[in-house]
Amino acid sequence: MARKYREVGKAGWGYTALTTVVGFIYFFPVFWIILTAFKTRTDALAVPPKLFFTPTLDNFYSVFFRTSITTGNSQATDMGLYFFNSIFIAFTAVGFAVIVGTLAAYAFSRYPLRGNDTYLFIILTTRMMPPIVVIIPIFLMFRISGLAGSYWGIMLLYTAFNIPFSVWLVKSFFDELNPEIEDAARMDGSTERRVFFGFCIPQILAGLAATFVFGLILTWNEFLFALLLTGVDTRTVPVAMARTLGGEVGVDYGLLAAIVTLFLIPIFFVTFLLQNQLLRGVTFGTVKK
Amino acid sequence: MEHVTLSELRIQNLRRRFDSVVALEDMTFDVKDGEFFCLLGASSAGKTTTLRAIAGLEELEQGKVHFDGQDVTDAPVQGRGMSMIFQTFALYPHLTVEKNLAHPLERAGVDRSEVRKRVGEVAELLRVTHTLKRKPNTLSGGEQQRVAIGRAIVQRPKLLLLDEPLTNLDAKLRHDMRAEFKRLHRELGMTMLYATPDQLEALTMGERVGVIRDGSVVAIGTPRDLYENPQDTYVAQMVGSPPINFFSATAATDGQINLPFLEAQLPAPGVQSGQPVTLGLRPHDISLVGEGPERSAGFRANIKLTEPLGDVTVIDVNAKDTAMKLVLREEVAAKFKPGDDIQIGFDPADLHVFDGSNGVRLDAG
């Protein structure tokens, strides 16, 4: 070939500079929030904004303990519970959704029904309308059935909302697999169950990880349904965060930034742990095997 | 239940459609115990569907598959005593070569030390011992192919189905693997049913070859039979490379035909006066006048194109506006270039005479 190709994995200076600039633009708000979390109230509101200041951990302390203005006593907030709720609800619901979605996707991919595409399209339509459209009927259903305010209620709802996405994404991974591998396993004496668990699932683990992370991010940040359908005990962090706004002394930006910073950590870790899988998941089928 | 005595595998009247496309229609043939049988057919003639039907991977609308004395038409895929080598090799990408090879044995309940021993033996036989701890995607094409063979033969199946196993390999490897398959067949003695679109593979490996067309077997015979006495024009053009030359002609009188490029009439037994016929002449049966065996018919032809293949050269010529191919030894062909006139001929006994309308062979034998 006449044209010389750059060594794989090495970008030129131009590209490196460009990606650095774009990366900086994306990361700057996050960086600023994290910075604010370490600022005192005065520093946080200073004009012009301060880049250099004496960091403080007070904001993180007040996420979990509140000092009463009148008595001076330290009192635990419920923020620990809300963090637990967020983690518990999001992980369980998305986990369920990926499991159900995977089973459904396998069926749609390997045992197509008459009108298979129609069913898939109907499943997809549930993601087409804005969730707010269905909020009133769902609210009424939850009130009548007693699911409002319970863990089960919000988890079922999040599971249901994640299933269409899971089915579609996981089905595309199954469709990419070579069906002759499954036939070979059958001829070797594997049962249908073993073909699924021993041969199909291991081949799409990266895809499942990607599906899980995408669903998790979506669910983690969900606010509207959490606001209306969780109770005092099942409140999630986004809702709790909103409740710190306002109040008698205005917005405490330092406190808000500290909650946001803590709120970023779990997702950051999951994404970080699964980053290799994620890359393989999102590029699945686009790279020649 | 019908009892099968003569053959190991008996395929009867298989029929299968995909939507409105007929994949198999009245597919019938037998494969003898220990035989190397090739199914030769163009793509989408029904080769893969036939193999999958025999393995039980394909549902049938009609027909029976008898194997080893039993009707296995509705038997489950697992436990038929067959194995298959797929066109894509179908190695398990998440398992090491060792685990790939061990899988059929583990499923059959063979105990662990025996599994290790037999995996070792088969790896030795196929020269893939050095790859045992690696994943399939780190192997070369030839190694992947040999692992696929190993996985198929490790449980010592009574029948090995091979679905175009050489299609994904390069020319050099294909050549080596053809010899490898023959060696395996000799050493292991298992019945092999080999599907291929390549006449060279079918002729070099098959003890018998079944030519399939539009989902049914149209001819069965030894490679020599099919090459020398093709029963119709379809079989004649499927077998042999370069492909056979066809000429249209009309019988002048009973048993005599005229060819457009020949002065003399040729004897053609069984042909009636005025009957349209198609004549087949293999490129290898044409030679230079004075070079080949006794010539009964010589004529002048003009060279259009030469295709040197190393030891031989394929030459495209025109003889009075009739195009044909012939094959000459390289040292003979080297003397000519496109545009030259040559004097060529053939033995009339080498002519294949077919009916001009339906293509069926007229000169029996």
The pLDDT assigned to B265 comes to: 80
Facing A189 at nearest CB: one of B57, B108, B137: B108
Residue of A nearest to B56 (CA): A187
Min Cα distance B243 → chain A (Å) is 33
More confident residue, B268 or A119: A119
- Are A115 and A217 part of one and the same domain? yes
* Residue A194 structure tokens: 């073993």
Min Cα distance B174 → chain A (Å) is 21
Show the domain range for B229.
9-238
- Are B306 and B229 part of one and the same domain? no
pLDDT at position A289 over 60: no
* Pick among B101, B107, B139, B160 to test the A interface (most A CBs inside 10 A): B107
* Residue A283 structure tokens: 């590029």
CA distance A204 to A281: 8
What are the tens digits of pLDDT across the range B38-87?
A: 999 988 888 999 999 999 999 898 999 999 888 999 999 988 889 999 99
* Residue B260 structure tokens: 């457009």
* Residue A33 structure tokens: 């929030």
The CATH number of residue B78's host domain is 3.40.50.300
Residue of B nearest to A191 (CA): B78
What are the tens digits of pLDDT across the range B328-347?
A: 888 888 888 899 898 888 88
Those residues with Cβ within 8 angstroms of residue A166's Cβ, 6 or more apart along the chain or in another chain: A97, A98, A100, A101, A102, A105, A211, A215
- Are B195 and B250 part of one and the same domain? no
The pLDDT assigned to B271 comes to: 83
The pLDDT assigned to A3 comes to: 54
Residue B169 bridge partners (DSSP): none
CA distance A217 to A267: 7
Is the N-terminal amide bond of A55 cis, ω within 30° of 0? no
Q: Give percent above pLDDT 70 in chain A.
A: 91
Min Cα distance A97 → chain B (Å) is 25
B86: chain A residues, CB-CB within 8 Å? 180, 183-184
Average pLDDT, chain A: 88
Give me the number of domains chain A comprises: 2
What residue type is B104 in one-letter code?
P
The CATH number of residue A117's host domain is 1.10.3720.10
Residue at a domain's end among A76, A95, A110: A76
CA B207 to chain centre: 11
CB contact under 8 A, B82 and A187: yes
pLDDT at position A246 over 90: no
pLDDT at position A184 over 90: yes
The pLDDT assigned to B3 comes to: 43
The pLDDT assigned to B8 comes to: 80
In a domain, B1, yes or no: no
Residue of A nearest to B80 (CA): A187
Answer yes or no: are the C-beta atoms of A278 and A209 closer than 8 Å: yes
* Residue A149 structure tokens: 């305010």
CA distance A104 to B289: 73
The pLDDT assigned to A166 comes to: 94
Residue at a domain's end among B217, B238, B259: B238
pLDDT at position A68 over 60: yes
The pLDDT assigned to B101 comes to: 96
A280: chain B residues, CB-CB within 8 Å? none
B130 touches chain A (CB under 8 A): no
> Can you point out the beta strands (E) in chain A?
65-67, 74-76
In a domain, A7, yes or no: no
Give pLDDT tens digits along chain B (365 positions): 344 344 488 888 888 888 878 889 889 999 999 999 999 998 888 899 999 999 999 989 899 999 988 899 999 998 888 999 999 999 999 999 999 999 999 999 999 999 999 999 999 988 899 999 999 999 998 899 999 999 999 988 889 999 999 888 888 888 888 988 998 899 888 899 999 999 999 999 999 999 999 999 999 999 999 999 999 999 999 998 899 999 988 887 888 888 888 877 888 777 888 888 898 999 998 888 876 665 666 888 999 999 998 899 999 999 888 899 999 888 888 888 899 898 888 888 888 989 888 888 887 64
Flag whether the ipTM exceeds 0.85: no
The pLDDT assigned to B114 comes to: 94
* Pick among A186, A188, A191 to test the B interface (most B CBs inside 10 A): A188
Is the N-terminal amide bond of A48 cis, ω within 30° of 0? yes
Residue at a domain's end among A35, A55, A76: A76
CB contact under 8 A, A183 and B86: yes
Burial class (CB in 10 A: 0-12, 13-18, 19+), B19: exposed
Backbone angles phi, psi at B109, to 5 degrees: 80, 20
Facing B90 at nearest CB: one of A181, A190, A191: A181
CA distance B169 to B88: 10
CA distance A72 to B235: 101
- As a whole number, mean pLDDT of residues A37-62 equals 87
Closest CA to A252 of A33, A70, A38, A41: A41
CB contact under 8 A, A187 and B103: no
What does DSSP say about strands A74-76 and B82-85: parallel, antiparallel, or unpaired?
Answer: unpaired
The pLDDT assigned to B346 comes to: 87
B107 touches chain A (CB under 8 A): yes
- Are B48 and B160 part of one and the same domain? yes
Show the domain range for A26.
13-76
- Are B154 and B277 part of one and the same domain? no
pLDDT at position A73 over 80: no
Those residues with Cβ within 8 angstroms of residue B331's Cβ, 6 or more apart along the chain or in another chain: none
In a domain, B360, yes or no: no
- As a whole number, mean pLDDT of residues A81-91 equals 95
The CATH number of residue B294's host domain is 2.40.50.140
pLDDT at position A2 over 60: no
Residue at a domain's end among B181, B206, B238: B238
Residue B258 bridge partners (DSSP): B250, B265
- Are B220 and B267 part of one and the same domain? no
* Pick among A187, A192, A194 to test the B interface (most B CBs inside 10 A): A187
Residue of A nearest to B157 (CA): A188
Residue at a domain's end among B190, B208, B238: B238
Residue of A nearest to B57 (CA): A183
- Are A218 and A87 part of one and the same domain? yes
Q: How far is CA A60 from CA A47, A56, A65, in A?
A: 23, 9, 9
Min Cα distance A48 → chain B (Å) is 57
Q: Can you tell me whether residue A87 is helix, strand or coil? A: helix
The pLDDT assigned to B4 comes to: 39
A187: chain B residues, CB-CB within 8 Å? 55, 57, 77-78, 80, 82-84
Q: How far is CA A91 from CA A164, A192, A235, in A?
A: 17, 29, 15
CA distance A187 to B105: 12
- Are B171 and B283 part of one and the same domain? no
Q: Classify residue B83 as left (phi > 0), alpha (psi -120 to 50) or beta.
A: beta
pLDDT at position A287 over 50: no
- Are A38 and A171 part of one and the same domain? no
pLDDT-derived band at A285, boundaries 50, 70, 90 = low
> Can you point out the beta strands (E) in chain B?
9-18, 21-31, 36-40, 62-67, 70-71, 82-85, 159-163, 191-196, 208-213, 216-221, 245-253, 256-258, 265-267, 276-281, 286-288, 297-308, 312-319, 322-329, 341-346, 352-355
